[in-house]
Chain A
């Protein structure tokens, strides 16, 4: 079936370096993508989203890139800080469903920031 998945289960980076977390999706009908951050024992927290009519979107220290040709999504975190240590999930949705379509989540990537 169609799904959203992640390339790397664990990513370890040095504090101050940039982090890149990747995600592949297979549903060509998906037109809305989101990255969530989940810290231990807490609920997922929205980081940034992007619609399929965009290739790139920037937030504070984060950038999401969307490559529809190869169905690939990435999250870039600049100047990674210890507080960025968490599990990151990508998720996809179809905006055409007015009632609210369920998000399909990837398996998650654990980001570990070394001081």
Chain B
């Protein structure tokens, strides 16, 4: 157990639907990062939150949004889902810059 908790582990939904992925960071970590990993692809950075505020944005679609709550857990909202959104979505947390991330086990999203 890495200390980063992601739910659900698996999600199957239809095109056009909206889903919410949840992440609880490791205790003491203030930064939360969301990454997307498509089949046999690398990790694509989506967005970062630090202590409740958006810190950096990557290649995140306008259909996707995220937030970090006062208790530091984060949610990634994916709407108007398309088949191409099927992927593994990872959450990671870190204390601050200059340290590695701790990754969760991911949510596997399948859009049918």
A is bound by B:
yes
With A and B bound together, what is the CA distance between A91 and B99 in angstroms?
11
A35-79 to B contact mask, C-beta < 8 Å, 1/0? 010000111111001010000000000000000000000000000
Question: Is B90 in contact with A93, judged by CB distance below 8 angstroms?
Answer: no
Stretch from B12-20, B63-71, B101-109 that touches the partner: B101-109
A79 to B15, CA, bound (A): 47
The verdict on A1 contacting chain B, using a C-beta distance below 8 Å, is no
Q: How far is the CB of B107 from chain A (nearest CB, A)?
A: 10
Question: 0/1 per residue, B66-107, Cβ < 8 Å to A?
Answer: 000000000000000000000000101011111111111110
Docked complex Cα distance between A107 and B58 (Å) = 16
Instruction: Report, nearest first, the 5 A-B pairs whose CB atoms are least far apart.
Output: A95-B98, A100-B31, A97-B97, A43-B103, A99-B50
Nearest CB in chain A: distance from B76 CB, A: 15
Contacts of B43 in A (CB 8 A): 44, 89, 105
Chain A residues touching B, majority SS = loop
Could you say which residues of chain B place their CB within 8 Å of the CB of A26?
none
Asked if A42 contacts B50 (CB within 8 A), the reply is no
**Residue from A34, A49, A93, A99 having most chain B Cβ neighbours under 10 A:** A99
Is A100 within 8 A of B45, CB to CB?
A: no
A2 smallest CB distance to B (angstroms): 14
B33 pairs with A102, CB closer than 8 A: yes
Query: Which residue of B is nearest A108, CB measured?
Result: B42
How distant is the Cα of A51 from the Cα of B95 in the complex, in angstroms? Answer: 16
Max chain A C-beta neighbours (<10 A), residue from B4, B42, B45, B48: B42
